[in-house]
A and B are shown apart, each in its own frame.
Chain A
């Protein structure tokens, strides 16, 4: 299964900056990035391994592919590669219906890792009321698993507060993180690959984000995982987990914002491991402990 991420957001919000983070800080993961305009993406010449008519291959194994010939053709082109990417990231156009693009993440062979919508904090309140794009921008935000409120360094704190308040009021269920130049750690932006080993559960140290970990010796049920995921509050940006029995088969949990996916998978180690990522100072590890106890009461 190949992970699939949609990056949406209106013009100038910072989508391309975000894409560059995927490409240049891929931490060894091979991202396939689908973009409309090669010209707009600013890749260091040293990073470019080769350039084809519709693709650019990077030295770190990532690949950019043009959307000029349509979305499905671009995806199929990536899937047909000798070594297809592990994770496909598509940059939606500024006025795209991101929810529709996100549906491609449910094609067989792919799984939807998340819809990230970047918002320029300086223009948000103006754009959501714009007569031409207001509806579109609202729909984009409403479809987001995670809204990235970008350029917060450029703004008066009162405006930032007003943005948060508007978002909370207009889209109460949407998870929001703020950023400067979309600088967010990869584990916030992308779920971990399926073939996860225990060591990769460790969340890198980061000034603004922190993680909560939980380990049980026994497997848990799908219902228990669902209960746990539904109980996560808005301070949790992402959560993931695996749970396996003695046979090696088990379950995987992926949570990004409101999106909860529980899938069956093989080769899961015995026991249950969970991690949640949230904003430092906001995520409440004690209530997460309590939620875990409540969810998995019987298991140890």
Chain B
């Protein structure tokens, strides 16, 4: 059975056939894109007019996200910026402590079980520099009886109210360093780093557990669908570390109504830890072979350092602009070649989390060493985040065939903080250097790192095109790229990075009928409104999925 979808415009990202109005699909596969006359000859067909007022682009490919994006939204969101929810609603950003308390009071009132703990997500103290740190007294204004735990956006901090502290017997004689105290030495409710956070065992466990639930995966897929994504990585999956999570993934993605292709890059071990990587790589190969239509196991993720805004990324000189340097490498440099070699030899693609450019030097050196030991002409190993990539690094990456996956959303979400606090003006202007990567010939894509920032390729594109911050700065105008270049990075180039560009990422005969259906043409609208384009939904392998 052939369906011909008619659209206002179809942008294919296929350079030899860039646009059309009709796309013919049989059994989930594209037969051709062009005018009606060009595609009607494939045989008996029905014409689907659903998208005749809309714009079809290739289904977006998100190169770095986490199922956590869906896991965390099982709980209320109280972050600074608006956040789309799986049901299509928008959680409005919280701009003041008063608004936070009001929101939490509403949530408290809506809970029927008086003992139920209230855990909320996404608060970030970096946006409240003029306020005292959030403490238990703020949260006690919400409730003195219900235990409350506010999990901060960076994952390293939390704030508990007095009832939560009491519930977990957290008293001031505990000596854990991360237990923040007021001037009188009393516990103030802020818990820094996992050892202190884990004192609130009930909340901590709930957060850990929630990323492995069915609902987390369904939320994740719904968020992706709502954003026009048809192929999404779970970059840093735990299917090797926690095989029971894997069964859940398989069970859900086997169903044709699951609206997403998931590309899982698993962690081989806890970040920084040594392990028997030789035999783990063998498990990866087995896992890769067991992939299915909507669940692929393409490679391995190594987390090599921390974050810039957490001051835990390892930076080259001149280091951080202000704040104390806690740069931390999460790998043993003398062993990194040995750690990665089994994966490289097995033909698995390696994605390396590098936020700091010193870490990135190590990643580049390591890949160079691997390539000398075991040539692999088409490895497409990728440096993900790659935020502070220098010109010298780009030149070297181009030579080695390394891809970059830029965290362009940082330009908006933390751009002002990078300019003013973390790395200073020059390097903030050079963050996510897309134009330079184009010039130097480094293939790149963008990412949201969801749930760190929301899934939304139109937003990551918008950042790359405009490089605007909330305070109205344009960070590094010379690194801006065109909407067409941005769309390429969000579709076919992201697919290339995942070794999936022969299947998805562009609309070409023989490829998957994976579309993002948009209300407007991202290449024709004012660049500043790209992120406001509404997503109608997606088509995945010819099946239509309407956004919530």
Interface residues of A (CB under 8 A from B): 10-12, 36-37, 39-40, 67-72, 93-97, 99-101, 103-104, 106-108, 112, 130-133, 135-136
Contacts and interface: CB of A to CB of B under 8 A. Distances in A.
Contacts of B328: 95, 97, 135-136
Interface string B274-312: 111000000000000000000000000000000000000
Given A95-B330, A103-B178, A107-B198, A69 B274 contact: no
Contacts of B273: 36-37, 67-68, 93
Contacts of B329: 95, 132-133, 136
Contact of B274 (A40, A71, A108, A112): A40
Given A11-B334, A95-B331, A68 B241 contact: yes
The 8 closest A-B pairs by CB, nearest first: A103-B195, A36-B273, A106-B176, A39-B276, A106-B175, A94-B332, A93-B272, A132-B333
Given A104-B198, A107-B176, A108-B199, 5 more contacts: A11-B332, A36-B273, A67-B273, A133-B333, A135-B327
A108 B168 CA distance: 10
Contacts of A131: 358
Contacts of B276: 37, 39
B421 interface: no
Interface in B319-362: 325, 327-335, 358, 362
A113 B512 CA distance: 59
A108 B179 CA distance: 13
Contacts of A101: 195
B330 A106 contact: no
8 contacts: A12-B334, A40-B274, A69-B241, A95-B329, A100-B195, A103-B195, A108-B174, A136-B328
B193 interface: yes
Given A37-B273, A37-B276, A107 B199 contact: yes
Contacts, number: 89
Contacts of A40: 274
A100 B193 contact: yes
B362 A106 contact: no
B391 interface: no
Contacts of B194: 71-72, 100
A37 B196 CA distance: 26
B19 interface: no
B151 to A, nearest CB: 15
B125 to A, nearest CB: 19
Nearest to B242: A69
A125 to B, nearest CB: 16
B195 A104 contact: yes
A228 B275 CA distance: 44
A93 B271 CA distance: 9
B169 interface: yes
B49 interface: no
B252 interface: no
Contacts of A71: 194
A37 B330 CA distance: 16
Contacts of B120: none
Given A11-B332, A106-B174, A94 B195 contact: no
Contacts of A136: 328-329
A10 B204 CA distance: 30
A95 B332 contact: yes
Contact of A93 (B204, B274, B325, B358): B274
A96 B328 CA distance: 9
Contacts of A103: 176-178, 193, 195-196
B373 interface: no
A50 to B, nearest CB: 20
Nearest to B175: A106
Most chain-B CB neighbours within 10 Å: which of A11, A101, A112, A133? Answer: A133
A68 B314 CA distance: 25
B371 interface: no
B241 A107 contact: no
Contacts of B330: 95
B269 interface: yes
A109 B492 CA distance: 54
A27 B508 CA distance: 71
Contacts of B176: 103, 106-107
Contacts of A107: 176, 195, 198-199
Most chain-A CB neighbours within 10 Å: which of B275, B327, B362? Answer: B275
Interface string B182-211: 000000000001111011000010001000
